[in-house]
Amino acid sequence: MPSTPWERGYHFPDDSKRTNIRPVGAAEAFQVVIIDDSPLQGALVRRTLEQRFEDRVHVSVYNDPTVGVEVLGPWVGLLLVDWLMPKLDGHCVVERAVRQGVDPKRIIVSSSHSALELHEEFDCEGCLAVIEKGEQQQQAAFMMILDGLVRRHERANATPAPQ
């Protein structure tokens, strides 16, 4: 008899209780992993991405960074990391992600701090971008980046047309 809610099939609004995410096959959705200690921020980004891309992306949200880093691997299409979190900060998450095979050019660090502060902190990390959460223009740039990554993923995994 299953003893925990997720063993009974309960779907949590975030995936912090699930650690069984596996690499995807060629025809599957683009994998986005969000590690942010704010449940509200994680849910907002998840909902935005799911509405924009529907089944073209799979979004996993981890509000506990110590759990989130355990599932990372080279299969991650995009990792969105909050900079300042109580248990593990963005620097540690980025370092672990890269050690576990995540391409640094597939990592975006976000924060409510200014973009200037983010650039000063993360310029030498090799991340794809740093995004200030409250800045609309940077959010628009984030969506353009994601559009491009999803299109690239779909082209790479497209089945050739029969001849």
What is the per-residue pLDDT across 35-66, written as a single tens digit (0 to 9) for each?
998 899 889 889 989 999 988 999 999 999 99
What type of residue is 145? I
Residue-range domains of the chain with CATH: 30-156 (3.40.50.2300)
Nearest to 71 by CA among 31, 108, 111: 31
Q: Which backbone phi and psi does 108 adopt, to 5 degrees?
A: -120, 130
109-to-13, 64, 88 alpha-carbon distances in Å: 22, 16, 14
Given pLDDT bands bounded at 50, 70 and 90, which one contains residue 132?
Answer: confident
pLDDT digits (tens, 9 = 90+) for 68-114: 999 999 999 999 998 878 878 888 898 899 999 999 999 988 876 66
Q: Does residue 88 contact residue 69 with C-beta atoms inside 8 Å?
A: yes
Q: Does residue 87 contact residue 64 with C-beta atoms inside 8 Å?
A: yes
- Per-residue pLDDT at 72: 94
- The model carries a pTM of 0.76
Q: Does residue 133 contact residue 38 with C-beta atoms inside 8 Å?
A: no
